[in-house]
Amino acid sequence: MVGSIGELLMAIAFVVLLAGLLRYTFGQGPQGALPDEQGDLGLLETVAVVPTREAADVLVAKLARERVRVTVSRGEDGWRLLAFPTDADDARVVLRSS
């Protein structure tokens, strides 16, 4: 059987308090990285900026054929292809050779 009304209210208050604490801690959602002055995100460097997602996908496929890893991000100036510093120079060379 359920305990007294006081115990029941205490359990409900504990669950509400726990839910509030968890929402405060984890409820903000991912904020993402903010770009610096050059438009780079953290360790990633911008290797190209194109106006459309389709153009970015074409370049990603070209880089993938050469085994250069990049990712695509939407920025204020268009779609950016981002690579780690170890892959950035290779990506720029592949993109220059059309």
Q: pLDDT tier at 31 (50, 70, 90 boundaries)?
A: low
- The values of phi and psi at residue 85, to 5°, are -55, -30
Q: What is the pTM of this model?
A: 0.60
Spell out the CATH class of 45-96: alpha beta
Q: What is the pLDDT of residues 51-65, one digit of tens each?
A: 999 999 999 999 999
Q: What is the pLDDT of residues 33-42, one digit of tens each?
A: 666 676 566 7
Q: pLDDT tier at 1 (50, 70, 90 boundaries)?
A: low
Q: Which element (helix H / strand E) includes 1?
A: none
Q: What are the structural domain ranges in the chain?
A: 1-31, 45-96
Report d(CA 39, CA 46) in Å as an integer: 7
User: Over the range 63-85, which residues count as b (16 or more CB within 10 Å of their CB) and which as e?
Assistant: beeeebebeebeeeeebbbbbee
Report d(CA 35, CA 44) in Å as an integer: 10
